[in-house]
């Protein structure tokens, strides 16, 4: 085991291989508050990549309802249970990661789902936490809550799948940090399936190999966002490049949200993988639940997000989500307009932060008629 | 006279029930290589009961022993060699899937016959080993099981594959090409699953994690699951330089799928002398 630095934990940790950062790191921000679980992302991915034989059950992208939804079944609860209670001390994680908690003979603490665990991807859908008593809808905020969690491979800096593969069949691309299973080398041992805490590697019984999200790298190489980003009708997603914390740039959208404003947080940072998909936590779920999913910064992130209406730069950047299929690597706001730029400074997209409002009087004096909302 | 005949018959029956045992693997000379585990030619080959130990040198390790021994017989026709491996296994595991591992066994031989042996665990750099690997799901495929999801999950419901939709003609080149887009491993020639002619694979390795295909037209195999477990014949060409009455070494590995044994999680032997007997 090597010692590597995991900035999400605020400390060094043990990992199977030495630290090796890519030239630039693919990363994404998902705004949980905007997701409506329409599953358009899921279908965009499914039709693009996993319509083959043996891939029937695979959802490289899925959207689950929290707190009760999960795909595969209880993927998160089972590992949290195995890892047991762990401690954060401020921004520093004092507990054990899944690498540090690996039992004898194993590289990673993990478990492997059975086929039935994949059979209920809609479990818990739209089920809210708490009791919906008679009349409870009359009071605000509602006691019941749920939210939708869209998930893809996190293209982790310290991937457990990569660490667990005894053949070295999984690699991170040096140019963009995208994690791939080498389909020529994989022998289908399913060690990666067991190790990935997010369960985003899938065994294909009809090719005999394990397969996973490839971040639509052919599109990334063309400067475009992946399919699940471009097809998201809720405009919850933004793909880009993430700098190391000490090199964060205020005009880099991902850096701004993750490092500078700290409103976008990793999913289960305590597992120790330094995942590169970041979530703006839901504003209406209990902070304790958010902290378990997104780490100790969840409360502050929600407060910062709620301040967006009075924060033009943050509000402007949030308006850039889902406005173009192209990757936006820089942004700037001038007045009421936010502009997304390519790496060379060329304008990619320009978005007004507020749309014009037209007020039609209830009485049409020209026609001498009262306007009605319905015919 | 009657008593003498009876005694002789009893002796013969006893001989066939209790095979001669050996402390090494002895490949007896045969004219035609036995290809089936039930071939009578195996009756003449001495049997070695080789003790197995868990692979516990590299992660992921196997910590709980499962298959404690493998019974081995061998024969050679002068060009090729066949080995019959038998082990006790209460479950036939030949359907792959998520967390469904399959039964398997393998034979390992040093690439070169020399006093300084490769590591018994997959060899090492500069000291490669040859491996012939048999798998139960490949055997099922060779025995006629189809290559669809319903062959693995009979009650599966599949509504649509884009490459099987009109206007693509069934079986056409265009259709096959499109299907390969969704099967990258097959596109790259990594045939871990799918149609195949033989249930075995030839490989080379120079240490743990380095196993690589080394296709050979000589590799054959046949596995049959019986009352107590598997009986598998693996045949391959004779190790280079293995002249009559000379020795090389051989090692074996066995995986029980129902115990989640796969890859490095296996039961294995150390090096065992392998004698090619002249007569």
Section A277-291 average pLDDT:
96
The pair of three-digit structure tokens given for residue B65, joined into one six-digit string: 């022993």
- To probe the interface with B, which of A189, A190, A202, A212 has the most B CB atoms within 10 Å? A190
A320 secondary structure, DSSP code: T
Q: Confidence band (pLDDT; 50, 70, 90) for B200?
A: very high
B152·A206 Cβ contact <8 A: yes
**pLDDT tens per residue, range B142-190:** 999 999 999 999 999 998 899 998 899 999 999 999 999 999 999 999 9
Contact between residue B93 and residue B150 where contact means Cβ atoms under 8 Å apart: no
Is B233 exposed, middle or buried, given 0-12, 13-18 or 19+ CB atoms closer than 10 A?
A: buried
Q: Where are the beta strands (DSSP E) in A230-288?
A: 237-242, 265-266, 277-280
Give pLDDT tens digits for A106-115.
Answer: 999 999 999 9
- Is B56 in contact with A107 (Cβ distance < 8 A)? no
- E strand intervals along A244-294: 265-266, 277-280
Torsion of CA A248, A250, A254, A258, to 10 degrees: 70
Q: How far is B95 from chain A (nearest CA, A)?
A: 9
Q: How far is the C-alpha of B184 from the C-alpha of B188, rounded, in Å?
A: 6
Cβ-nearest to B183 among A184, A193, A207: A207
From B135, B122, B127, select the one nearest B268 (Cα to Cα): B122
Question: Min CA distance, B73 vs chain A (Å)?
Answer: 29
Crossing angle, helix A298-306 and helix A287-294, to 10 degrees? 110
User: Smallest Cα–Cα separation from A195: which of A292, A277, A113?
Assistant: A113
The residue in chain B having the minimum alpha-carbon distance to the alpha carbon of residue A116 is B98
* H or E element at residue B212: strand B212-213
Nearest to B192 among A52, A118, A209 (CB): A209
> What Rg do the C-alpha atoms of chain B give, in angstroms?
21
Helix (H, G, I), strand (E, B) or coil at A191: helix
- CA Rg, chain A, in Å? 22
pLDDT above 50 (res A234): yes
Interchain CB distance below 8 Å, B59 and A166: yes
Q: What local confidence, expressed as pLDDT, does residue B4 receive?
A: 54
The arithmetic mean of pLDDT across residues A281-309, rounded, is: 96
Taking CB atoms and an 8 Å limit, are A52 and B183 in contact across chains? yes
Nearest CB partner across the interface for A106, out of B60, B149, B182: B60
pLDDT surpasses 80 at A26: yes
Can you tell me the distance from the alpha carbon of A27 to that of A276, in angstroms, rounded to the nearest whole number?
5
Average pLDDT over residues A6-26: 97
Q: Which residues of A touch B158 (CB under 8 A)?
A: 56
Q: How many other CB atoms are found less than 10 A from the CB of residue A307?
A: 13
Give the integer Cα–Cα distance in Å for A18 and A2: 5
Residue A224's Cβ-count burial label (10 Å; 0-12, 13-18, 19+) is middle
**B60: cis peptide before it, omega within 30°?**
yes
Sequential DSSP letters for A106-168 = -SS------GGGGS-TTTTTTPPBS---TTGGGSSS-S-B-EEEEE-----SS-HHHHH-TT-
Nearest one of A89, A101, A321 to A195, comparing CA atoms: A101
Interfacial residues of A (vs B; Cβ cutoff 8 Å)? 47, 49-57, 104-107, 112-115, 117-118, 164, 166-168, 183-191, 193, 202-209, 211
Give the mean pLDDT of chain B. 93
Residue A374: count of CB within 10 angstroms of its CB: 3
Task: Test A118 with B98 for CB contact under 8 angstroms.
Answer: yes
Total CB pairs under 8 A between chain A and B: 139
Segments making up each domain of chain B, as ranges: 21-145+200-276, 148-192
Whether residue A372 is predicted with pLDDT greater than 90 in this model: the reply is no
Between B98, B186, B209, which is nearest A166 by CB? B209
Closest CA to A13 of A25, A24, A2, A29: A2
What residues form DSSP beta bridges with B80? Answer: B237
Of the partner residues A55, A184, A206, the one whose CB lies closest to the CB of residue B188: A184
Confidence at B14, pLDDT banded by 50, 70, 90: very low
Q: Is the pLDDT of residue A207 over 70?
A: yes
B181–A54 C-beta distance less than 8 A: no
A293 to chain B, closest Cα gap in Å = 26
Q: Is the peptide bond before A299 cis (omega within 30 degrees of 0)?
A: no
Nearest by CB to B60, which of A166, A186, A204? A166
Render the burial of B47-76: b for 16+ CB within 10 Å, e for the rest.
bbebebebbbeebbbbeeebbebbbbbbbb
> A211: closest CA among A237, A180, A257, A232?
A180
Please report, rounded to a whole number, the percentage of residues in chain A having pLDDT higher than 90: 91
Residues of B in contact with A55 (CB under 8 A): 182
Over residues A30-39, the mean pLDDT reads: 98
Q: Which of B58, B59, B61, B148 should one mutate to test binding to chain A, selecting the residue with the greatest count of A CBs within 10 A?
A: B59
Chain A neighbors of B54, CB-CB under 8 A: none
User: Which residues of chain A make contact with B192, given a CB cutoff of 8 A?
Assistant: 186-188, 207-209
Copy the structure tokens of residue A359. 């007020």
pLDDT of residue B15: 46
pLDDT at A375: 60
Distance of CA A93 to the CA centre of its chain: 21
Least CB–CB distance from A51: residue in B61, B162, B211: B162
Q: Give residue B5's pLDDT.
A: 54
Distance from the A48 Cα atom to the nearest Cα atom in chain B, whole angstroms: 9
- Residue A25, SS3 per DSSP: strand
Note whether B233 and B132 are within 8 A (CB).
no
ipTM, interface predicted TM-score of the complex: 0.92
Residue B11 — pLDDT band, cuts 50, 70, 90?
very low
Consecutive H or E run containing B9: helix B2-17
Distance, in Å, from the CA atom of A86 to the CA atom of A270, rounded to the nearest integer, reads 8
Task: Sketch out chain A's domains with CATH numbers.
Answer: 2-287 (3.30.70.20)
- Residue B1: pLDDT above 60? no
The verdict on pTM exceeding 0.80 is yes
CATH classification (class only), B21-145+200-276: mainly beta
The confidence score (pLDDT) of residue B3 equals 58
């Amino acid at each position: 085991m090597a010692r590597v630095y995991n900035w999400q934990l605020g400390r060094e940790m043990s990992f199977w291989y030495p630290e090796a950062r890519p030239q630039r790191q693919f990363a994404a921000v998902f705004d949980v508050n905007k997701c409506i679980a329409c599953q358009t992302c899921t279908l965009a991915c499914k039709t693009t990549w996993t319509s083959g034989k043996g891939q029937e059950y695979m959802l490289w992208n899925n959207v689950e309802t929290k707190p009760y939804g999960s795909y595969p079944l209880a993927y998160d609860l089972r590992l949290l249970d195995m890892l047991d209670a762990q401690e954060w001390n401020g921004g520093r994680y004092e507990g054990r990661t899944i690498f540090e908690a690996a039992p004898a003979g194993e590289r990673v603490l993990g478990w492997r789902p059975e086929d039935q665990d994949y059979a209920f991807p809609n479990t818990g859908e739209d089920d809210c936490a708490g009791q919906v008593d008679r009349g409870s809808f009359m009071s605000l905020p509602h006691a019941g809550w749920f939210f939708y969690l869209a998930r893809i491979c996190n293209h982790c800096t310290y991937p457990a799948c990569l660490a667990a593969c005894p053949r070295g069949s999984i690699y991170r691309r040096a140019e963009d940090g995208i994690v791939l299973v080498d389909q020529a080398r994989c022998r289908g041992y399913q060690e990666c399936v067991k190790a990935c805490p997010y369960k985003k590697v899938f065994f294909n019984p009809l090719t005999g190999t394990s397969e996973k999200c490839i971040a639509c790298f052919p599109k990334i190489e063309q400067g475009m966002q992946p399919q699940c980003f471009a097809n998201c009708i809720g405009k919850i997603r933004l793909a880009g490049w993430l700098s190391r914390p000490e090199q964060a740039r205020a005009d880099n959208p991902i850096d701004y949200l993750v490092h500078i404003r700290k409103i976008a947080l990793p999913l289960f940072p305590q597992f120790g993988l330094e995942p590169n998909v970041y979530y703006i936590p839901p504003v209406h779920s209990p902070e304790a639940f958010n902290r378990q999913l997104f780490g100790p910064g969840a409360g502050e992130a929600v407060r910062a997000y709620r301040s967006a209406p009075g924060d033009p730069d943050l509000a402007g950047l949030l308006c850039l989500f889902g406005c173009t299929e192209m990757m936006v690597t820089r942004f700037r706001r001038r007045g009421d307009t936010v502009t997304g730029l390519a790496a060379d400074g060329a304008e990619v997209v320009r978005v007004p932060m507020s749309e014009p409002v037209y007020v039609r009087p209830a009485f049409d004096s020209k026609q001498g008629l009262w306007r009605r909302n319905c015919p | 006279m009657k008593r003498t005949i009876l005694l002789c018959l009893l002796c013969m029956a006893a001989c066939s029930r209790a095979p001669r045992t050996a402390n090494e693997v002895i490949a007896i000379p045969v004219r035609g290589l036995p290809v089936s585990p039930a071939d009578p030619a195996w009756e003449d080959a001495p049997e070695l009961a080789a003790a197995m130990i868990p692979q516990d040198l590299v992660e992921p390790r196997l910590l709980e022993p499962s298959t404690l021994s493998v019974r081995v017989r061998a024969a050679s026709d002068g060009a090729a060699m066949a080995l019959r491996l038998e082990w006790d296994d209460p479950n036939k595991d030949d359907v792959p899937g998520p967390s469904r591992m399959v039964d398997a066994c393998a034979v390992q031989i040093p690439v070169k016959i020399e006093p300084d042996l490769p590591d018994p665990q997959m060899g090492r750099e500069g000291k490669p080993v040859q491996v012939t690997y048999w798998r139960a799901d490949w055997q099922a495929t060779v025995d006629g099981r189809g290559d669809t999801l319903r062959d693995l999950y009979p009650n599966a419901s599949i509504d649509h594959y884009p490459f099987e939709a009109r206007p693509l003609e069934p079986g056409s080149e265009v259709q096959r090409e499109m299907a390969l887009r969704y099967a990258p491993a097959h596109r790259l020639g990594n045939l871990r699953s799918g149609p195949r002619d033989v249930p075995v694979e030839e490989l080379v390795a120079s240490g743990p994690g380095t196993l690589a295909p080394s296709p050979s037209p000589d590799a054959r195999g046949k596995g049959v699951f019986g009352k107590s477990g598997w009986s598998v014949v693996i045949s391959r060409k004779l190790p280079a330089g293995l002249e009559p009455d000379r020795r090389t070494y051989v090692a074996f590995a066995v995986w029980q799928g129902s115990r989640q044994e796969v890859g490095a999680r296996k039961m294995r032997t150390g090096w065992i002398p392998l004698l090619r007997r002249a007569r």
